[in-house]
Chains A and B, each alone.
Chain A
Amino acid sequence: MVPYQQALVIQGASGSGKTTLLGLMAGLDQSSSGDIELLGEHLTDKNEEQRARVRAGKVGFVFQSFQLVQGATAIQNVMLPLELGGSQDAFELSKKALCEVGLEAKADTMVEQLSGGEQQRVSIARAFAVKPAILFADEPTGNLDAKTGGQIADLMFRLRDQSGTTLVLVTHEQVLAERGDVHVQIESGRLLSVD
């Protein structure tokens, strides 16, 4: 059980199953046994199409390698999940989200032309723009230097505080992990500890 509006941090060695667990919790993958409930919906008996409907407008993602749409601008990347969900004011909401992450001036810049830190901020703006109930982040600072990584972590937690979003983080970074409320340690696909 992930506590509401808190930050759950998943840690473990490489290959221990952190990303698999994150994917299962977010409904990106289907478990072969057991039951996963996301925002009151049981995911196990749902196909990908149905799980996508559960995620729509309620779940956000931040990836280690940003995963922005190349060939598009910063604001277009933020608009994407909003428009996929049928939002009518995607442009205004995206502008506001970029403003929140300090990238208002670079809204019309192609994402390829942004630095790594800026790209991750666009990714965070994209995740928070849909006002998600829960945000899944896979090594969000993994591709950034310590200083930028710290700034990104600050940003994520500040936005979490503002929006009341629940955070689920996979990270190797001890500094980031320490900011979590609940810590889960896994090894070879098994839960070692929860504190």
Chain B
Amino acid sequence: MVVATVIAISIVTSSQLVTHRISLLLDRQASELLAADLVLSSGSPISVEYRQQAKASGLKVASTTSMRTAIFIDDEPQLVELKAVSDGYPLRGQLEKASDLTSPGQRVLQGPSAGEVWIDSKLHELIGETITLGNQNFKSNWLLTFEPDRGGALFNLAPRVLMNLKDLAATGLILPGSRVHHRMLFAGNANAVAAFRSQLKPQLSEGETIQDLENARPEMRRALDRTRTFFALSIILTLVIAMVAIAITARYTAGKEAPKVAMLRAFGISQKRLARFYLQQIGKLWGIATIFGIGIGWLSQYPIQWALDGWFGQALPQVYLIQPYLIAAVVGFICLAGFCLPQLLNAASTPPMQVFRPISNRRTFGRNLLVTVAGIIAVFLVLILLMQSSLLAIVTLGMILLVVLILPGLFTLLIRWLLFSNARQFWLKRYLLSRLRSTSRGAILVMSGFSLALLAILIIAVVKEELLAAWQTQLPEDTPNYFLINLAKQDVPLVEEYLSQNQIQYSNPYPLIRTRLTAINNISIKSIQFTDPRAEGLVHHTFNISYTNRLPDDNAIVVGEWIANSQALDQFSVEQGMAEKLGLELGDILSFNVAGETFEAPVTSIRSVVWENFKPNFYLIANPRLVEKKPQTWLLSATIEDSEKPVLKNLFERFPAITPLDVGVLMARVRSIVDRATIALEFFFLFALLSAFIVLLAAIQTGKSERQMESSLLRALSAQSSQLYRVHVFEFTLMGLLVGFFAALFANLAGWIVSVKFFDIEYHFSLSIWLISLVSATAVLTIAGILVSRNVYNVSPMKILRS
């Protein structure tokens, strides 16, 4: 019991510490896509007050200022997206520069120094030349090949020119009324960032918006959300196994204490005094287990860190929080109070008559209820404590309860059915079944516990596989790695022809119309109070509306009719997430403004979009008639291998207006985050296996004395060693088969619920889970049976006489 409690506390300490550290690292890596942890954006200069407050909170701060301007190439003006960055930019992630189009990129932590500019690969012909920006001339020695936060406004890019913020004022480009986009970037400790975010929010002036990971990129957010939920689920399932171990060992301890209690009570020790004694013992046990558990948990993060550092490509950041240790201690307390205390209080109430009649303590219904209810409350409290999503906690508890309540009944029914199907032969099959049915050995409890442990492992494995499969399906090998944007409408067929001639795969081209949402149901968005805080960010953004009659790939109509099938004259199809955030329903009228001209149409369908597929995806799609005359550019995605880069170069020469956007790098990052998350999941899987092993040890220990006694009896009844060996090993094999069967049954059910309800991924019922479950449970238990059988079948028959 002490060992089981120490392990439970170790699991919580270690998993909490490692989860915090991995989570922090993943957040930081995801932050690289923002170049910060938190970004404040505004069309007006951002108050230095915020900078001072952030510095006072211990955060790092950087600033960027972006604007559109023109540079001259051979006396021809070229529109560029100028971005001036302060020292320290990027706060998260790295920039990448290259000396020319074909050279490999160099990763750097700092932007251009004063006096130089880095230019987009689109402007590669200007390398080495002097570029004039306003009143100043700059050297352009480097191509900017990667910019972490560029994806934030994926389709709004003119070729980028990056300069140092110190040079901006001297250019004289910023005049009163200039359209300039200011961003202030913040990064630091997660708690400090969260606190600063809360501090910042009420101070924001109109036009200032906060962007963080939660409202940054949808594909990233979903990956992180799923990963976090899976972490929580894995930890809780691992802990459930540890709790099973505590419950089994507590029952075993209480069973051993009962005769002592009967004797002490016969000598006049009151039940109250015994209860007090057990309370003190549990208090001491908690103290010892907490010290050792926290110690082991703390130490275990180092070998794990050593293993994970290599995989993650960088060291896991340290966390200096008391929270993981406190949670571990509280979980230890809940486990002891929920599982051990009721069992020991039950033992303390063993009637003194038992000294005369050595019968097992037949607990009343009330006492059984106490043990069950205490266990349920303990599991629920632990779930609430460790899981962020209370719905997930409730559903997990429901599943655990279902399994805990149903499994023993199923085992009993099955064994009884097998036992009485043919009573004319007892040895060996029915003898084995009677051993499993024996209440004194607690085989059914052990099997239920072991099934629960295996079930937890299977759920982790099943959901992990489904999660990965979902990602792999969404990211096939031919996932496009380039967006070609800013195509003129008349150039689209020519670009398509050029790509086809060069055997480059590309997607359907889509038009883009930059608009602003002005009203919903004729109510100005300025006067609408949105319930979802993320809606504020959305409505102040520029929307890119596309138009098409063909439903894009990986889009599915959730409600309503797709544009091509609808009778409505003008209409919008809205992405599901956006509809939820803005509270949109079918029939709502959306009004937009393009270059001072307003147009409106009702929402006729709501679509689900697979953001992770890196194909052109849109929040809003209109019918062609509504917007096809509006000012527009086109885009398409293409898969361009490194060997095909010269083709790309020729394309830019033919169509200078096109801007290529290399999403391959971004995609690789998302992929790597998922890969790393998978490694972290493997780690929790190991924890689950370790806990299951403890359950197994507890199970073997629990029935050991009964097995020895029966072996001794069989010996006295002239059983041969081979018969004893067989019965012993077969007992474990049979347990393994039953455990494997029920674990697979429930794992399929639970896997389906968890996948569909919490990860929003399709679940595939597979036969392999049955095979894995049956084979692994049978093999593990049979091997355990073989390993421990020597202690049992070599027992002297004299033991039975002396019992």
Whether B797 is near chain A, meaning CB under 8 Å from some CB there, is: yes
Chain A CB within 10 A, most for which of B426, B798, B803:
B426
Whether A71 is near chain B, meaning CB under 8 Å from some CB there, is: yes
Whether B721 is near chain A, meaning CB under 8 Å from some CB there, is: yes
* CB proximity to A under 8 Å, residues B280-331: none
The residue that B434 contacts in the complex, of A19, A52, A76, with Cβ under 8 A, is A76
Contact B426–A71 (Cβ < 8 Å): no
When distances are taken between beta carbons in the complex, the residues of chain A under 8 Å from B721 are: 48-49
Contact A52–B719 (Cβ < 8 Å): yes
**Size bracket, chain A contacts:** 35 or more
Contact A81–B424 (Cβ < 8 Å): no
Q: Which residue of A lies closest to B715 (CB)?
A: A52
Whether B720 is near chain A, meaning CB under 8 Å from some CB there, is: yes
Contact A48–B439 (Cβ < 8 Å): no
When distances are taken between beta carbons in the complex, the residues of chain A under 8 Å from B431 are: 69, 72, 76, 80
Whether B430 is near chain A, meaning CB under 8 Å from some CB there, is: yes
Separation in Å of the A57 CB from the closest CB of chain B?
7
Contact B710–A52 (Cβ < 8 Å): no
Whether B423 is near chain A, meaning CB under 8 Å from some CB there, is: yes
When distances are taken between beta carbons in the complex, the residues of chain A under 8 Å from B716 are: 26, 28, 55, 61, 67
Q: A19-B801, A48-B715, A63-B801 are in contact. Are A70 and B720 (CB under 8 A)?
A: no
Contact B801–A83 (Cβ < 8 Å): no
Mask of B694-727 contacts with A, CB within 8 angstroms, 1/0: 0000000000000001100111111111010000
Contact B801–A22 (Cβ < 8 Å): yes
The residue that B427 contacts in the complex, of A84, A108, A112, with Cβ under 8 A, is A84
Contact B425–A83 (Cβ < 8 Å): yes
Contact A71–B801 (Cβ < 8 Å): no
Contact A28–B796 (Cβ < 8 Å): yes
Chain A CB within 10 A, most for which of B431, B435, B716:
B716
Whether B199 is near chain A, meaning CB under 8 Å from some CB there, is: no
Q: Which residue of A lies closest to B436 (CB)?
A: A71
Complex Cα distance, B719 from A63, in Å, reads: 17
Whether A189 is near chain B, meaning CB under 8 Å from some CB there, is: no
Give the total number of A-B pairs whose CB atoms are below 8 A apart: 102
Contact B713–A67 (Cβ < 8 Å): yes
Separation in Å of the B709 CB from the closest CB of chain A?
8
Separation in Å of the A5 CB from the closest CB of chain B?
21
Whether B438 is near chain A, meaning CB under 8 Å from some CB there, is: yes
Contact B798–A28 (Cβ < 8 Å): yes
Contact A84–B797 (Cβ < 8 Å): no
Complex Cα distance, B714 from A8, in Å, reads: 25
Whether A9 is near chain B, meaning CB under 8 Å from some CB there, is: no
Complex Cα distance, B427 from A14, in Å, reads: 37
Whether B629 is near chain A, meaning CB under 8 Å from some CB there, is: no
Contact B801–A79 (Cβ < 8 Å): no
* CB proximity to B under 8 Å, residues A17-47: 19, 22-23, 26, 28-29
* CB proximity to B under 8 Å, residues A70-118: 70-73, 75-76, 79-81, 83-85, 90-91, 108, 112
Mask of A149-170 contacts with B, CB within 8 angstroms, 1/0: 0000000000000000000000
Whether A65 is near chain B, meaning CB under 8 Å from some CB there, is: yes
Complex Cα distance, B438 from A80, in Å, reads: 16
Contact A29–B798 (Cβ < 8 Å): yes
When distances are taken between beta carbons in the complex, the residues of chain B under 8 Å from A10 are: none
* CB proximity to B under 8 Å, residues A50-72: 52-53, 55-57, 59, 61, 63, 65, 67, 69-72
Contact B718–A67 (Cβ < 8 Å): no
When distances are taken between beta carbons in the complex, the residues of chain B under 8 Å from A90 are: 425-427
The residue that B426 contacts in the complex, of A67, A76, A138, with Cβ under 8 A, is A76
Complex Cα distance, B412 from A71, in Å, reads: 11
The residue that A69 contacts in the complex, of B425, B434, B436, with Cβ under 8 A, is B434
Contact B434–A84 (Cβ < 8 Å): no
Contact A76–B430 (Cβ < 8 Å): yes
Contact B714–A84 (Cβ < 8 Å): yes
Contact A52–B720 (Cβ < 8 Å): yes
Separation in Å of the B431 CB from the closest CB of chain A?
7
Q: Which residue of B lies closest to A127 (CB)?
A: B717
* CB proximity to A under 8 Å, residues B431-458: 431, 434-441
Contact A63–B426 (Cβ < 8 Å): no
Q: Which residue of B lies closest to A170 (CB)?
A: B801
Contact A59–B718 (Cβ < 8 Å): yes
Separation in Å of the A168 CB from the closest CB of chain B?
12
Separation in Å of the B497 CB from the closest CB of chain A?
81
Complex Cα distance, B796 from A61, in Å, reads: 15
Contact A56–B426 (Cβ < 8 Å): no
Complex Cα distance, B713 from A59, in Å, reads: 13
When distances are taken between beta carbons in the complex, the residues of chain B under 8 Å from A76 are: 423, 426, 430-431, 434
Mask of B771-803 contacts with A, CB within 8 angstroms, 1/0: 000000000000000000000000011101111
Q: A22-B801, A69-B713, A71-B439 are in contact. Are A91 and B425 (CB under 8 A)?
A: yes
Kindly list the 9 A-B residue pairs having the minimum CB-CB distance in the complex, ordered from nearest.
A71-B438, A83-B427, A56-B718, A72-B434, A71-B437, A71-B434, A28-B797, A76-B426, A81-B717
12 contacts across the A-B interface (CB closer than 8 A):
A23-B798, A29-B796, A48-B796, A69-B710, A69-B713, A71-B435, A72-B431, A79-B427, A80-B431, A81-B717, A83-B427, A84-B719
Given pairs A48-B715, A69-B431, A80-B717, 11 additional interface contacts (CB within 8 A):
A28-B716, A28-B796, A67-B716, A67-B803, A69-B434, A71-B439, A72-B434, A73-B423, A79-B425, A80-B426, A80-B427
Chain B interfacial positions (CB closer than 8 Å to A) = 358, 423-427, 430-431, 434-441, 709-710, 713-721, 723, 796-798, 800-803
